[in-house]
């Protein structure tokens, strides 16, 4: 295993902080401008940092609060190179996987004419390794020897059938690169095998619309008691952990999360050891969302994102410092003296399904009527199919009461789109 990379993204301890849109400004460029980037932008602006938001479509959530925005295809090297050279940021912060990472490797460490050095968060290597599921899974299982589920990567339908025959049913099928669970499915019966292949091919981020098949991952199903995200923060003061976040997913996408997830001291210690091992290898500074399957005291590594995590939206109400504030402090070399958990907390995603634009939300009075309840509407301009448009947040006397409160807030909201009425997917307590 290579030596542990230094946490080198941060400026020196006595670095001055400038003012946005002046000659003294520090600049952060977001590659991907969704809801996570929006919260990071808000955190950055509180400290006077200038933010440039980049995404593949106009009016993305972070663009609505950033100082400037660019619409480009981030998988196109020429377009990405041009926007980097034009803006000359101090930090590049990837928010999504669909980025031409070789360009980030080319630009990492570049010195601009005024002497500033471009830093990729956490590192260009980490971004490239985690861009698709194969790079990070092979690093975890084959290089670091961490406990993972059994898996196969396949390129053809014939290889896909063979992998399922080898791993057995049930199994999980995932595109190498996707967002919000698109293309991901659980195969439980033989009749679901071919539809799962077709769905993975159509749902992956790298889908070209051609007859050339995309490489996909087939993963043996892991029996577990619950799943967690362990937010792991690498910063100049060392490695810190937030309290474990439990979460529920459906169709591979986040639906609910809660904090702190109860688990044994042995399992938590093991999860922290694994998270530190893999984030030390990836290097750099910032928040990593490390996902695990937990069964009793047994912990199995699932995935890692080198950035704040969607399940970590719960930290907007559960902690004194949200994951976005922690990410910003880490990458800018600011102290993190304490991470305080504020009590049993939960989040519930607001999903709408339909075809249309200009969402209008009704029911906010009811959604916010209970104490210790909050709401974030992301500002996404359109819906095609099913899309996450917001999140309800709540604290309670127990995890159950917090989750129940967040679900009630989501259920109170109705969404309408121009041209059609959307269906809001609420989570009902059984």
Mark whether 408 is an active-site residue.
no
Looking at 181, 356, 363, 379, which residue is catalytic?
A: 181
Three-state DSSP at 71 gives strand
C-alpha span between 387 and 381 (Å, rounded): 11
Looking at 127, 311, 345, 347, which residue is catalytic?
A: 311
* C-beta of residue 45 within 8 angstroms of C-beta of residue 24: no
Looking at 90, 97, 132, 291, which residue is catalytic?
A: 291
Mark whether 291 is an active-site residue.
yes
C-alpha span between 185 and 283 (Å, rounded): 31
- Upstream peptide bond of 170 is cis (omega within 30 degrees of 0): yes
Which residue is listed with tokens 């399992």? 267
Q: Give the residue ranges of DSSP H helices in 283-397.
A: 315-318, 323-332, 364-367
Mark whether 50 is an active-site residue.
no
Looking at 87, 134, 159, 303, which residue is catalytic?
A: 303
* 6: Cα within 13 Å, side-chain hemisphere: 5
Residue 312 β-bridge partners: none
- Upstream peptide bond of 260 is cis (omega within 30 degrees of 0): yes
Looking at 179, 302, 315, 345, which residue is catalytic?
A: 179
Mark whether 181 is an active-site residue.
yes
Looking at 95, 280, 310, 325, which residue is catalytic?
A: 310
Looking at 215, 329, 388, 407, which residue is catalytic?
A: 388
Three-state DSSP at 361 gives strand
* C-beta of residue 319 within 8 angstroms of C-beta of residue 327: no
Say which DSSP state 117 is in.
Answer: B
Mark whether 279 is an active-site residue.
no
Which sequence positions are flagged as catalytic? 179, 181, 291, 303, 310-311, 388
């Amino acid at each position: 295993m290579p030596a542990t990379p230094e946490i080198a993204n941060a400026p020196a301890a006595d670095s001055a902080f400038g003012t946005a849109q002046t000659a003294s400004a520090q600049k952060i460029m977001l590659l991907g401008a969704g809801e996570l980037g929006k919260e990071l932008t808000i955190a950055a602006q509180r400290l006077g940092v200038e933010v440039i938001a980049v995404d593949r479509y106009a009016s993305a959530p972070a663009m609505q609060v950033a100082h400037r925005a660019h619409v480009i295809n981030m998988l196109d090297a020429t377009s990405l190179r041009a926007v980097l050279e034009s803006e000359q940021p101090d930090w590049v912060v990837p928010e999504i996987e669909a980025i031409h990472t070789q360009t980030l490797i080319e630009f990492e460490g570049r010195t601009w004419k005024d002497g500033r050095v471009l830093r990729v968060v956490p590192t260009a290597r980490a971004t490239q390794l985690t861009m698709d599921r194969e790079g990070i899974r092979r690093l975890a299982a084959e290089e670091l020897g961490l406990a993972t589920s059994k898996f196969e990567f396949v390129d053809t339908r014939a290889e896909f059938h063979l992998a399922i025959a080898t791993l057995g049913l049930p199994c999980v099928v995932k595109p190498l690169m996707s967002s919000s669970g698109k293309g991901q499915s659980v195969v439980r019966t033989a009749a679901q095998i071919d539809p799962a292949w077709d769905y993975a091919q159509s749902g992956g981020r790298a889908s070209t619309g051609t007859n050339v098949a995309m490489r996909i991952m087939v993963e043996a199903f892991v029996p577990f008691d619950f799943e967690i995200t362990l937010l792991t923060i690498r910063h100049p003061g060392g490695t810190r952990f937030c309290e474990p976040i439990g979460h529920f997913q459906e169709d591979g996408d986040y639906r609910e999360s809660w904090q702190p997830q109860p688990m044994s001291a042995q399992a938590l210690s093991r999860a922290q050891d694994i998270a530190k091992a893999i984030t030390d290898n990836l290097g750099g500074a910032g928040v990593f969302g490390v996902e695990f399957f937990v069964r009793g005291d047994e912990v199995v590594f699932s995935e890692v994102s080198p950035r704040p995590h969607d399940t970590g939206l719960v930290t907007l109400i559960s902690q004194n410092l949200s994951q976005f504030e922690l990410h910003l402090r880490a990458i800018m070399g600011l102290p993190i003296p304490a991470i305080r958990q504020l009590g049993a907390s939960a989040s519930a995603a607001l999903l709408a399904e339909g075809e249309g634009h200009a969402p209008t939300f009704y029911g906010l009075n009811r959604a916010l009527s209970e104490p210790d309840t909050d709401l974030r509407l992301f500002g996404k301009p359109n819906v095609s199919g099913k899309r996450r448009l917001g999140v309800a947040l709540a604290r309670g006397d127990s995890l159950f009461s917090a989750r129940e409160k967040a679900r009630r807030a989501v259920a109170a909201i109705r969404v309408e789109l121009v041209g059609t009425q959307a269906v809001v997917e609420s989570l009902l307590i059984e």
